[in-house]
Every structure is written in C-alpha cells, then in structure tokens.
Structure 1
C-alpha cells in the first residue's frame, strides 16, 4: 500500500530501470495484476509500478463528487511520489487509459511517453446507446446477483479468439467479481476528456483491437485528431483485451515505442 494523499492505493512493484506506471481497466474483477500479469515479464528491465486504482482490487472505495477519471488520476499521480518516482512512462488500458490521459493533461512534467490501449474517457456525442461490451460490463456490475454465466458472456465479448475464454479465466474473474463489486454509475460519470486532448504533450501510442466491441476502433479518431503527437497501431482479429489476447505482439509494440522507436512500419496515424 502506498500513500496517495487522502488514501492508500495497493501497488505491485517489479523490475529496475526507467519507471513505468501501469493503470488497469474497469469491469468486474479488474485490478492491476489481473490486467497486466501477462505483460510484466517482458518489462523486467524497467521499474514497473502496477496500481490498483480507487474502487478496484485491494484499494479503497472512497466517495467523490469529482469525475472518476479526475479523482483516480490525482491519486495515481500521488502514488508515483511515494516510491520517489518523479517522471514515468504511462501505460493505460481502457478506463486506465482515460486515467493516464488525465494525468498527461494535468501533470505534463510527470509523463515521458504515453501508451493507451483502447482507452476510455473520450465519448462520442451520440453515446448512448453504448456498444455491446459496455452494456454487458455495466449490466453485470449493476446486477443484484452476478452469475458465472453472465461472466462467461462478458469474457467472451472481450476476446476475438474464443479459445482464450477458458474456464479457468472465467472462474478467476467471476470469483474476483464476487469479492470486489464497486457500484459504478453510467460512463458519463467517468468524465469526458475530449476538451483537454490538445494539452497532452507526450508522444502517444494508441493500440487497438480491430474487432473491439467495448471501446470501438471508430472512437480512436477523436483522440488521433486531438492529441498533437499521437499514432495508432491496429491489431486485427482482436477485441478489447489487447494486452491479454495478443500479449507477445502488444509487448513488442509497447517496448519499441517506450525505447523511442516507431511502433511498427505499418502504424497508422
């Protein structure tokens, strides 16, 4: 547990080298290590700090009137200070991608490079209706009695390769969702970061699954247009859990970008 000002956040530290802050997505059973366990072994030459954001994992569930992305970004930024990290690369998935964007807007001097994997926080003007993955995710958390069947459906929506939706993964996420069931409102309460995109000064890489049914690829255009130094890499035959479903490719792309090289010869943006 590390001091985040008015609360403590649960964190996992791993490796040594240039600092990287990893911020996970939302959804039932979500937490830092559940999102990034398949990735960290490829980053042992970095100083990794994997955070459980407020309301998730082992971190507390405080009340706040602020947009959730704003509240979480301030606590995550303070969590960096506890182990003496003044500046870091930021890697954020889904909801955590929105948190990283907010940090990059409000604390530009704390961010080296920014990696956003199908990030939340930038909503199209015509939402709702929400994509099918959003519908299932928030429906599960609002349910009075979550079921393993509903979790199986949610996990399968997150991945294009259905063979990866194993019984073991479904059981793990289901059991975790029973232990940690934050009551979260509709996505509008998370906050819309669109007006602040131009304030992101860090080099930014977007990584997206082409078949994402939760945060659709069509939503990427707003971020590409708004962030001054942004590029996009799209992985085919892949949905929302890019870092899990395509871990080797994702690790390679992210490492190359953090080292200052182009994400790939076929990058778009």
Structure 2
C-alpha cells in the first residue's frame, strides 16, 4: 500500500514492504515511471529486507515541487529526509538510471548513511560527446516535451527499454501511459539533472554497476567513466538486455544483487 510522507518542502509517496536491513529503491525518470512500476516485480525476492520504494519528486504520486535546483540534487536531499523520517539510519540504495544518479548523490553527501550501492545504468555522468543523445533519451525527451503525448509514443518508448520486445506488453504500455498523464513532468528539455562527475571519487560505498549490453538509453560505452571514477566499484554486464535490467532479466538481477548486498561480491575490497 502506498503512503505519503511529508519531508518539509515536499511530499513523497512510498511503499514499505518486508522486514530486515533497509533497502531504498529509486526509479528512473522515464515517462510514467513510479517506484513500484520499476521494482514491484523484484520485491518478492527481497522479502527478508525492509524495502522502501519511493516515487521521486514529480513522478508517480509525489508532487513536483517548484525548484531551480538540479533534479538529482533536489531529489537526493528529499530522499535522505525521508530515510530520517522513517527511522532509517543506514541503508542499501538501489537505483535505476535517474534513480541511480540520486543514489550516487546521497552517497556523496551522506556517506555515513549509505551501506552499499547498486546502480543500473545510472545517469548523472555524461561523456564529453553527449549530445547527440542515444535513441532512448531522444524518445524520453520528446515525450516530456509533448503537450499531450500519445499512447503510441509511449509504446515506442517502452519497446526501446527492452531487448525482448515481447516484454513490452499492452498492459505495461497502458499502465505507463496512464501514469504519465497523471504526472506528466513540466521540465525544460533536456532537464537540468545535474552533473555528478566531479564528485565520483567521494563515493566510498561498495558499488555494483549493472548494465544491459544492448542498452540504447544509457549505453554501456558510458560505463567506464563511472567505473573508473568510483574507487570501490565493479561492473556486471548482462547480454541480450537493454535499459530495464531489473525487469527484463529479473531472476539474474535478483540473484546478483542479493549476493552483493550480503557481501559476497565486494568483501575482499572492504578488508
């Protein structure tokens, strides 16, 4: 069940499920994205954790605040306030795309409150030659810019997110389209997300990067800059997979993330 949390100058919708060590799940910026649309299918594999699944400001049921601050920076501070309000002193952070950038920003600013990071093709770190934008980002920005986006535009966007287009079901397209109309972002195009590049070396948390080899939104060629910038980072690449790794390759994703959160993948680097 979704609840609403007041964090001062913003309200965040969230779902609180399971019990155990806390994991905060942070979704991407795609049209119609919500915490549960991104991660609802993964939660049954993490029932022995306390899962806090957040709708970031301006998405899902979380209203968009008026701010000139870069979106990543703004969202990171509100998520940190939410953790405090929910009695969470320290948590693992799992973030997809934009949510991965928000997770990195939290780890930079509040390192004592972050245990491990799992980042699926995170944003916030651009190569020198961007733009031109990858085709997935082109469609995302075009959808955001449309005064009244169409269902077919949503269908095209969803198909770009998965390698196996049979996973772009009519039900999924309808769900994302309806959600996008309820909370259609009013943002400059491209949005002012913010740049995390200068502070990558300040992330001390063990970090797992997970990437789809065929990602057309945040391509694998963008990964080395993040991998080399974060001192304690490692990379897993899943073939025949695009941007929605946690959805398209859910069993493998759940397995490798559980292994990592339990300390299996980064134990040696922590000694």
The offset of 1:188, in angstroms, is 5.8
Instruction: Specify which of 232, 236, 247 is matched with residue 229 of structure 1.
Output: 232
Aligned residue in 1 for 2:65: 62
Deviation sequence 1:48-78 (CA, Å, 0-9, x none): 1111110111111111121110000000000
Map residues 118-197 of structure 1 onto 2, 5 A cutoff.
118-187=121-190, 189-197=192-200
Partner-residue secondary structure (3-state), 2:181: helix
Aligned residue in 2 for 1:3: 6
Segments of structure 1 that go 5 or more residues without pairing to the other structure are: 264-269
Distance 1:147 1:26 in 2: 18
Distance 2:191 2:78 in 1: 20
Distance 1:177 1:188, change over 3 A: closer
The offset of 1:153, in angstroms, is 0.6
Distance 2:88 2:196 in 1: 25
Q: Which stretch of structure 1 is more off in the superposition, 180-189 or 119-128?
A: 180-189
In the alignment of these two chains, the number of paired residues is: 263
Distance 1:103 1:12 in 2: 20
**Paired residues of 1:21 and 1:49 also in contact (CA < 8 A):** yes
Partner-residue secondary structure (3-state), 1:190: coil
Aligned residue in 1 for 2:26: 23
TM-score by length of 1: 0.96
Distance 1:28 1:178, change over 3 A: same
Segments of structure 2 that go 5 or more residues without pairing to the other structure are: 267-271
Answer yes or no: is 1:46 the counterpart of 2:67: no
Aligned residue in 2 for 1:266: none
Map residues 95-134 of structure 1 onto 2, 5 A cutoff.
95-134=98-137
The offset of 1:138, in angstroms, is 0.9
Distance 2:135 2:241 in 1: 16
Distance 1:63 1:104 in 2: 24
Aligned residue in 1 for 2:215: 212
**Paired residues of 1:97 and 1:119 also in contact (CA < 8 A):** yes
Deviation sequence 1:102-139 (CA, Å, 0-9, x none): 00000000100000001011011111111000000110
Runs of 4 or more consecutive aligned structure 1 residues displaced over 2 Å after TM superposition? 184-188
TM-score by length of 2: 0.95
